[in-house]
Amino acid sequence: MNSKDFTAGLAELRGLRDEIKTLRKQLAKLETARDKQITALAAYEKAKAERIAPAAGVSVADVVALAPTLAPPAPPQPQEEPAPTPQAATNAAGRPEPTGVPAPDLRRAPGKPAATGTAPDTTITGGSDAPPAVGTPSSHPGPGRQPTTTPAADGEQPEQVRELPSIPPGQDGDTWFTATPNLTSTRPNFTQQPRQMAFLDATTGVLVHRDTTTRLNLGTGSVADILIAVYATVPATVERIYITAGDPWHRDAERYPFLRDAVAAWLNGPLPDGWKIESTRGRDRLAGHLVHPRNPVGRWQRGDQHTEIRSVGEWFDPDGATPATVRDAFVLLWRALHRHWPDVTLMGSPSQTGRDLWSRTIPTKAGAKWADGYPVMSEEIRGLLHATAGQGRTELITPPKVPDRLPQLIELDRTFAYAKHTWASGVGIPRRITAAAFAALSEKDQINALFAPSHWHIRVTIPHDWNHVGLLPAPAAGDRTWHYPAEPGRTFTTWAGGAEVNLALRNPHTPWKVEILDGLLWEAGSPLREWSTRLKDAWASLRAIAATHGDPKQRTAAHLASRAVRAILLYGIGAFAQRPRITTGTVPTGAEHDIPTGAQIIGTDGHTITWQRDTGFARDPYAHPEWAAGVWSAARAALLSTKMREDNLFVGALHLPPGSVVAFRTDAIYTTTDPAWPYHGHPGDYLKKGHLPGPVTGPRTEDELLSLQTLGRAHLAEEQEHHR
């Protein structure tokens, strides 16, 4: 082929591209007309899904999704089986449990792409990549039998357990499955305005602005003292003051029962003349303070001048770095991102920055999939996901499940883990898959549904011979949000993402019994892939600088910048979850009547009362909790089992000996076994981050675990230094 032939081939390819776009538009119109016709035919009193489906060229499940009234009844209970016990037939509130449909045996499923959003080169789950089964399935109750619920080992009573919401039956629930009117995620048509920054060590008083370093007298470290000292040195155009060390908001912490109270008192302290708490809003500016115990945000204004005081800990742990090094880290961060986003602006927090960068990857080319924007689901579905889709797994396993004295403690942490699970996500408005609709599916379609982006309301029975960690989250009692039951024979009802349900059905030991009660099923798409790929490239380039630069200060700055990229992706994903908005405010003591209705008092210093109020979900065009839930579910599944293709090796907690796992903390496993898993520095690889030789008294509390974590990391660092 010569240059002329190549050019001619490109022209032909463009023609084919345009023709495909035209045909796709025509196909979309035809499919819309078909769906309307199916809905119209379903109104006929004698209509049957099995007659409409072949005429429409779709499956029975597709017809049932469009016309739920055509769903066949759930499988009847076998007559010879005894009636369910009262405990098994009712939930914690005493209401009848819905009838479930057993999920198929996924161990027999052919090779499939994972439902986890994991890149193809490291699929967590998927047919031929599934870890070989160990042992045989336990005997489970039959499809129509309600298994007896076993109380939790720690003595929790069923009525104490938090009950998760469910989708209302019938038409009431079907109305949830719509888009929020006039609300879509579209690429912004404006460029964010950069904000000047200054970096302040509140302990030493060292302030860095651009190339200037100054030492300030911060007085008592109050808001007033900081504002006066800083703006006597830098211009009023500086809008962000990042605290790199010193945490001035904790200066009077010993006077308060909780850190949050001390932070609120500091933020609401006296101000210099002319200053007040910010009350205006802009496109990328929020009014008022964010009262956070460790990384608060204070916002003030003086006329047209706006200022934020923030903790650099939102982005990374500076770990003793000077303000100048922190400034260099932000410069390197901007440069790394600028290669992929020419219009990048570093916003106040990594979550804001991450979501803004993602919005600039939304397709805009005419004819491209989702070029008109990603629809935002109804508030009901968003609220359901908020209540039923947890984030990272945090669990401490104590005796007798682990020994009192541990032979050693190893910390294994997944590198940049969430970046591994953004390959595929659910897009659009989900289909509702009720138990009846699931029962109507062929086994092949049921398997396809369990491999697709999905979120399931399920009843779970743990095998009677189970001797490993729990696999699926369940609502917990008390202050805990989720726990992970592992007691053999126990039955519980919960919600779980498709990745975790998939793993539970074909884990490397014994498959769990899962009954489908209801579910949400999305079309598979890749809304996060380009964004994540660009961030991973920026992360890798900064890590390379951190490993090879000749200047130790620049190596440190590059390392901190790479951690900032991690925070952008991590908190950017969290921002999609769009939790209910919390509004915070203050009133003078004695003016309690000015506290808004429904607000909760969260602190007082004797002069000022601080309150907060849950104002519900805002009309956020970038609210996509389905994406956050999918990534979190995939990461929790990978914490248990994932395949390293380059090494043809399965890794994760389920590939450690039973009884050896002591704790989980988001992306980390704490274990008494050192598996020596390969580490290549890729996203998702397990890095040995700590080693504490034994015997060690096993932790009983979170604080004890963190203390052992610190000791283990220090000991491993000494070991590594000794072997250099």
Looking at residue 581, the DSSP 8-state letter turns out to be P
Decide: residue 180, CB within 10 A, 0-12 exposed, 13-18 middle, 19+ buried.
buried
Whether 203 and 245 map to the same domain: the answer is yes
Q: Are residues 664 and 393 in contact, defined by beta-carbon separation less than 8 angstroms?
A: yes
683 assigned to some structural domain: yes
Residue 296: asked if its preceding bond is cis (omega within 30°), the reply is: no
Decide: residue 602, CB within 10 A, 0-12 exposed, 13-18 middle, 19+ buried.
middle
Whether 209 and 343 map to the same domain: the answer is yes
- Contacting residues for 358 by C-beta, under 8 A, at least 6 apart: 528, 531, 572, 622
Angle between helices 552-576 and 350-359 (to 10 degrees): 70
444 assigned to some structural domain: no
Q: Which amino acid, 556?
A: T
Whether 205 and 314 map to the same domain: the answer is yes
**Distance (Å) of CA 488 to CA 152, 171, 664:** 11, 38, 20
Q: Are residues 637 and 124 in contact, defined by beta-carbon separation less than 8 angstroms?
A: yes
577 assigned to some structural domain: yes
Whether 677 and 604 map to the same domain: the answer is no
Whether 606 and 657 map to the same domain: the answer is no
Query: How much is the pLDDT for 589?
Result: 80
Q: What is the dihedral of CA 172, 178, 183, 185, to 10 degrees?
A: 140
- Contacting residues for 153 by C-beta, under 8 A, at least 6 apart: 487
**Distance (Å) of CA 137 to CA 103, 105, 149, 215:** 14, 10, 19, 69
- Alpha-carbon distance of 123 to 121, in angstroms, equals 6
User: Which H or E element spans position 538?
Assistant: helix 529-548
| 3-class state of residue 270 by DSSP | coil
Q: Report which of 312, 58, 365 is spatially closest to residue 187, judged by C-alpha positions.
A: 365
Q: Are strands 649-651 and 642-644 parallel, antiparallel or unpaired?
A: antiparallel
Q: Are residues 205 and 215 in contact, defined by beta-carbon separation less than 8 angstroms?
A: yes
Count CB atoms within 10 A of the CB of residue 189. Answer: 6
Whether 606 and 651 map to the same domain: the answer is no
Count CB atoms within 10 A of the CB of residue 118. Answer: 26
SS3 content of the chain, % helix, strand, coil (to 5): 35, 20, 40
Chosen domain end from 7, 40, 70:
70
Q: Are strands 513-525 and 425-432 parallel, antiparallel or unpaired?
A: antiparallel
Whether 201 and 348 map to the same domain: the answer is yes
90 assigned to some structural domain: no
Q: Report which of 378, 420, 440, 715 is spatially closest to residue 566, judged by C-alpha positions.
A: 420
Question: pTM of this prediction?
Answer: 0.78
Residue recorded with tokens 């489970």: 140
Query: How much is the pLDDT for 20?
Result: 83
Q: Are strands 454-461 and 513-525 parallel, antiparallel or unpaired?
A: antiparallel
Chosen domain end from 70, 93, 108:
70
**Is the dihedral angle over the CA atoms 271, 274, 277, 282 positive or is it negative?**
negative
Count CB atoms within 10 A of the CB of residue 310. Answer: 20
Query: For the residues of 14-76, what is the DSSP string, one character each?
Result: HHHHHHHHHHHHHHHHHHHHHHHHHHHHHTSTT--HHHHHHHHTS-HHHHHHH-GGGPPPPPP
- Alpha-carbon distance of 254 to 268, in angstroms, equals 17
Token pair in block for residue 284: 């990328």
- Contacting residues for 451 by C-beta, under 8 A, at least 6 apart: 109, 112, 113, 114, 115, 126, 498, 502
**Distance (Å) of CA 31 to CA 25, 38, 64, 369:** 10, 10, 16, 15
Averages of pLDDT over runs of 10 residues in the chain (724 residues) are 79 82 78 81 78 76 68 44 38 60 81 53 39 37 34 43 86 93 91 92 96 96 96 96 96 89 91 86 59 92 93 95 97 97 94 95 87 92 92 93 94 95 94 95 93 96 96 80 93 96 94 96 95 97 95 96 97 85 70 76 72 69 94 96 92 96 96 96 95 94 95 94 79
Query: For the residues of 656-690, what is the DSSP string, one character each?
Result: S-TT-EEEEEETEEEES--------S-TTPEEEEE
User: Which H or E element spans position 354?
Assistant: helix 350-359
Chosen domain end from 70, 105, 134:
70
Residue recorded with tokens 């939102």: 314
268 assigned to some structural domain: yes
User: Which H or E element spans position 224?
Assistant: helix 223-231
Whether 549 and 658 map to the same domain: the answer is no
491 assigned to some structural domain: no
> Which range marks the domain in which residue 692 is found?
393-418+637-722
Whether 231 and 304 map to the same domain: the answer is yes
Whether 269 and 330 map to the same domain: the answer is yes
**Would you say how long the chain is, in residues?**
724
- Alpha-carbon distance of 174 to 437, in angstroms, equals 13
Phi, psi of 456 (to 5 degrees): -120, 140
Whether 207 and 344 map to the same domain: the answer is yes
Q: How many folded domains does the chain comprise?
A: 3
709 assigned to some structural domain: yes
671 assigned to some structural domain: yes
Whether 540 and 584 map to the same domain: the answer is yes
Q: Are strands 305-311 and 238-245 parallel, antiparallel or unpaired?
A: parallel
Phi, psi of 142 (to 5 degrees): -65, 175
